[in-house]
Chains A and B, each alone.
Chain A
Amino acid sequence: MAEVAISIRNVSKSFGSLRVLKEISFDIPKSQVFAFIGPSGAGKSTLVRALNGLEGIDAGEILVEGVSVHDRRTDINRLRTNIGFVSQSFNLYPHLDVLGNVTLAPVHVKRQGQEEARERALAILGSLGLADKARSFPQQLSGGQQQRVAIARAMAMDPHMILFDEPTSALDPELIKEVLDAIRQLASTGMTMVVVTHEMSFAREICERIVFMNQGSVLEITPPQEFFSNPKTERAREFLGKILHH
């Protein structure tokens, strides 16, 4: 049995009377890639944001490397240094250049020296094909480049896992590939990853498990080949029918 990176136990959450997560339980083993897919409103984003405590939960427990994320005694800031997070809207810091974006947290949170953080950042940017953009400001970059900088920023903290919340949803179609390539590259290093995505072929290619969600519930957790060729639930069949043959 592989080591568990993230353990989700009976997690429920409501916004007012709307139950967005309904008693969700499953484990994500270390070094695996899990893709959360499903129709909008299924609770995928809420769940992935709960994994690093950006969203609170009403019941249940989420353990990251054995530490309870929502326990008030947990040092959430310290825990978050192990959990990279890349969101749909990049959220680069517009007042800093690319290098400043990537080194900010290593310097101020991990207390790395400027020089050390700089070298590490340049190495990561290089590996993502952004070496010549180190001195650019976010607004001078394309969406795809911005998202790759956001990925570099997450990687610079040497996290044990990275969460992606619809990383390509805000991108022009022709910019999606460069971002997916970057995520692919990360997956090949054995990084534990959770990816909320609508890119089905990408999910099929890189992930170990598809987590199919609908209306706040997890309907199935299956290997991608199985999910795409022979989904277990009627809802998944219907969902795939709609998105694969549109």
Chain B
Amino acid sequence: MYIMNWGVIAQNLPLFLRGALLTLKISLLALVLSIPIGAFAGLCRVSRNRVISFLAACYVEFFRGVPLLVLLMWIFFVLGRILRLGSYWSAIAGLAIFSGAFVAEIVRAGIEAIPKGQMEAARSSGMTYVQAMKLVVLPQALRKVLPPLASQFIILIKDSSLVSVISVVDLTLIGKNLVATTFRSIEVWSFIAVIYFCMTFSLSKFIAFFERQSVRE
């Protein structure tokens, strides 16, 4: 019979903490990069210029269609070697590019949810396309994209566990290594699941708070 021994958690707390911090760091960096990537691609997607819109669509469709695991491998073993990225930056690049494709779709949907009359009213008053986007359409779209963006960021934190396959020592890899040396799989994986949940749940609460604030404005 398997006898629980939670001592393994207590003894290795610093290790878990290090892994959790790295997971947070990678997710956060990927997130910070995926916002401008996604915003840019999303804006290109709604562009009236067909070539620009097509290129953005290619980006979105391709990276949405490739499994993240495969993408991370490819970036690490192919792109990473050419650009000398190393596992850490390969992981961040992979997550950012992957997540950016989803952010692009969220941004596109947000912009398209704004009635056409808004752009028309702005253009009728003599604004350029860029001015109308910046002053009229995007401020409204921003409110619409916050909830789906929040879900996307929670997904990003969870997806970051895949970077362990390219030997980034994140929370998941720490767990794998610990299980290999201590054979305490139940304790270790349960604890790791709880840590991931705490991270995503606090992010989700934080975003809910932020949304309430922006509604009150």
Chain A contact residues, CB within 8 Å of chain B: 52, 54, 77-78, 80-81, 83-85, 87, 89, 91-95, 104-105, 108-110, 150, 153-154, 157
Given A104-B135, A109-B131; A153-B117 close (CB under 8 Å): no
Q: Which residues of B contact A94 (CB under 8 A)?
A: 140
Task: Flag if A95 contacts B139 (CB, 8 Å).
Answer: yes
Chain B residue nearest in CB terms to A156: B125
B167 is an interface residue with CB less than 8 A from chain A: no
Taking the closest CB of chain A, its distance from the CB of B126, in whole angstroms, is 4
Task: Flag if A95 contacts B131 (CB, 8 Å).
Answer: no
Complex CA gap A9/B127 in Å reads 27
Taking the closest CB of chain B, its distance from the CB of A64, in whole angstroms, is 13
Task: Flag if A153 contacts B125 (CB, 8 Å).
Answer: yes
Task: Flag if A80 contacts B123 (CB, 8 Å).
Answer: yes
Task: Flag if A54 contacts B127 (CB, 8 Å).
Answer: no
Task: Flag if B121 contacts A52 (CB, 8 Å).
Answer: no
Task: Flag if A108 contacts B120 (CB, 8 Å).
Answer: no
Q: Which residues of A contact B139 (CB under 8 A)?
A: 95
B202 is an interface residue with CB less than 8 A from chain A: no
The dominant DSSP class at the B interface is: helix
- The 14 listed contacts between A and B (C-beta, < 8 Å) are A52-B124, A54-B120, A77-B127, A83-B124, A89-B117, A91-B120, A92-B121, A93-B122, A95-B139, A105-B126, A105-B127, A108-B131, A109-B125, A157-B126
Taking the closest CB of chain B, its distance from the CB of A212, in whole angstroms, is 26
Complex CA gap A157/B123 in Å reads 13
Taking the closest CB of chain B, its distance from the CB of A204, in whole angstroms, is 28
Q: Which residues of B contact A85 (CB under 8 A)?
A: 121, 124-125
Chain A residue nearest in CB terms to B131: A108
Complex CA gap A18/B18 in Å reads 68
Task: Flag if A78 contacts B126 (CB, 8 Å).
Answer: yes
CB < 8 Å neighbour of B135 from A54, A83, A108, A153: A108
CB < 8 Å neighbour of B127 from A91, A95, A108: A108
Chain B residue nearest in CB terms to A87: B117
Interface centre among B115, B121, B140 (most CB of A within 10 A): B121
Chain B residue nearest in CB terms to A100: B135
Taking the closest CB of chain A, its distance from the CB of B177, in whole angstroms, is 50
Q: Which residues of B contact A154 (CB under 8 A)?
A: 125
Given A108-B135, A109-B131; A91-B126 close (CB under 8 Å): no
Complex CA gap A77/B136 in Å reads 16
B12 is an interface residue with CB less than 8 A from chain A: no
Taking the closest CB of chain A, its distance from the CB of B179, in whole angstroms, is 51
CB < 8 Å neighbour of B125 from A81, A89, A95: A81
Task: Flag if B121 contacts A91 (CB, 8 Å).
Answer: yes
Taking the closest CB of chain B, its distance from the CB of A150, in whole angstroms, is 8
Taking the closest CB of chain A, its distance from the CB of B115, in whole angstroms, is 7
Given A91-B115, A93-B118, A95-B139; A105-B125 close (CB under 8 Å): yes
Complex CA gap A54/B121 in Å reads 10
Given A91-B118, A95-B140; A80-B135 close (CB under 8 Å): no
Taking the closest CB of chain B, its distance from the CB of A218, in whole angstroms, is 24
Taking the closest CB of chain B, its distance from the CB of A118, in whole angstroms, is 17
Q: Which residues of A contact B122 (CB under 8 A)?
A: 93, 105
